[in-house]
Amino acid sequence: MLLLGGLAVGLLSGLSPANGDPRARAADSAGLTSGSRNPYDKFRGASYSNEGLYPERDEIRLGQELHKQLQKEQKIVRDHVLADYVQRLGERLARLSKRRDLDYHFFILEDPTVNAFALPGGYIYVHTGLLATVESESELASVLGHEIGHVVARHGLKNFKRAQRYQFLIGLINLGIGAIGGESTAARIGQTASQLLAAGIFTKHSRDAEREADFLGVHNMYAAGYDPRGMISMFEKLEQISRRNPDLLGAVFRTHPPASERIRNTQAEITDHLALAPHLVRDTPTFRMMKQRLQELGWARDSISAPRHRQRSRSF
């Protein structure tokens, strides 16, 4: 299983067009296109659909089967205060995303690591460790917006499609395709869903895909009325955690671009394209109620405060 996961990571990170050209690799590592100052310019005006992948109905069926398997392997938090809060916040963002017609499902996993991830078909998960880390609703909105961005851009589905080209996964992928290809065989994917999840086919993306999810996420949270600087303060927390206690970071976050780069990218996007206003939401009473409930259930931890010098900056 570990070998399969390692091969999948190599697969998903090794198909970049930058491979083979040192200058292209350097530009890719910074997220820049030729002549571009803003690394998000390459995503501006992009359109998204299932064309060339799988029909949306099959994507949804795949997500359902993966979720069934995930429930067998992970403990989903059923507390209605926490679950309802995350679902409502997620729906608020999803309604204003670039894929608003999909039914989204948001879940909390009981896990102390600072992590979140998305599966095809609109299934999004956050860990209790992440809820314990965020200090405002805008920070949490930035994480959910990022994960919605992965669903919008079909990153997991694209990884799944790409993996079919490789012989070492062909048997595994064929089982998955057979499962989502018809109602009569849908149960077959339960036999391979665990391997697909462990291999990171749906959750370990290229750094450029992560940048695209950041881009979609910051615009999504802004459209929903949230202060986009919540994404900056979230990245500052990740940067601090990576220095002080990297074991708290979930494996998914370890494949993202460095937090310092993500801070720069988001600051540039806010400066160039988003107008800050007093009405933008940073925090809410319902967020505080969620944090209180988290503490009552024993999942809270000491806060990780963002550097104050960044909070004073008003140059956006």
Element (H, E) at 312: none
Contacts of 45 (CB under 8 A, 6+ apart): none
Q: What is the pLDDT of residue 260?
A: 94
**16, burial (CB in 10 Å: exposed 0-12, middle 13-18, buried 19+):** middle
- Residue 225 Rama label (left phi>0; alpha psi -120 to 50; beta): left
Q: What does the radius of gyration of the chain's CA atoms come to, in whole angstroms?
A: 19
Whole-prediction pTM value? 0.83
Mean pLDDT by 10 residues, the chain (316 residues): 41 43 49 67 96 93 92 96 98 98 98 95 97 98 98 95 64 53 49 78 93 98 98 96 81 75 96 95 98 96 50 28
At CA 190, angle to CA 185 and CA 192, rounded to 5? Answer: 105
Q: Read off φ and ψ for residue 126, nearest 5 degrees.
A: -125, 145
CA 145 to chain centre: 8
Q: What is the pLDDT of residue 242?
A: 86
Sequence-ordered strand ranges (E) for 52-115: 105-109
Q: What is the pLDDT of residue 193?
A: 78
Q: Are strands 116-119 and 123-127 parallel, antiparallel or unpaired?
A: antiparallel
Q: What is the pLDDT of residue 278?
A: 93
- For the beta carbon of residue 214, count every other beta carbon within 10 angstroms: 27
